[in-house]
A and B are shown apart, each in its own frame.
Chain A
């Protein structure tokens, strides 16, 4: 299957700082990328959907000014958690999909964010 690389795998940051998470599709062009957040023992929660070259579509309740998503190329999307707080500590996962006719989305390894 296709490979999606997410970096970093884990990060600890101080409250008030910003953290950037990268998601790269290594061997295919990702027309659409999805960003999820997952709290312990809970399912994936879709935060936003981004299409290359356009603004991300955020799910209800997700602050677009706090979770900045950039999908500048067909192989790279970034999620920046701005002014992080301890309640932002979570597991963040990206997934990438090719054209709209493609059904399978491939997941990155996930990023464990801990805000202290």
Chain B
């Protein structure tokens, strides 16, 4: 079956770095997405990886290893506004998104 696993909750300190891991199993693979979702709002796109390696975009970076079925989202210089849920989603061979349950990130001063 298809499955996405990510931690339920993480806590980090303002100004620090945090890595949110995601493992996936899908029927075929057309890329891995990370979305940020604040409470009561729709998800917003953060990153898309389809090739192995690290993609850096400002304070956020995303890594993919297709052979391991593994991705992580790295957030640097954490700010209070980064407190949100981070959703990992893998796209299968039918271009359908398989969603993880989300990781709630709590930032403490």
Determine if chain A interacts with chain B. Answer: yes
List residues of chain A with CB under 8 Å of any chain B CB.
1, 6, 34, 41-44, 46, 49, 91, 93, 97, 100, 103-110, 112
Q: Which residues of A have CB within 8 Å of B101? A: 42-43
Q: Which residues of A have CB within 8 Å of B104? A: 41
* In the bound complex, CA of A108 to CA of B43 (Å): 9
* In the bound complex, CA of A84 to CA of B97 (Å): 27
Contact yes or no, A110 B45, CB < 8 A: no
The number of chain B residues with a CB under 8 A from chain A is: 21
Contact yes or no, A109 B100, CB < 8 A: no
Given A44-B87, A103-B30, A103-B48, CB of A110 within 8 Å of CB of B41: yes
B3 to chain A, nearest CB (A): 12
Given A103-B30, A112-B40, CB of A44 within 8 Å of CB of B99: yes
Q: Which of B1-54 contact A (CB under 8 A)?
A: 30-31, 33, 40-45, 48, 50
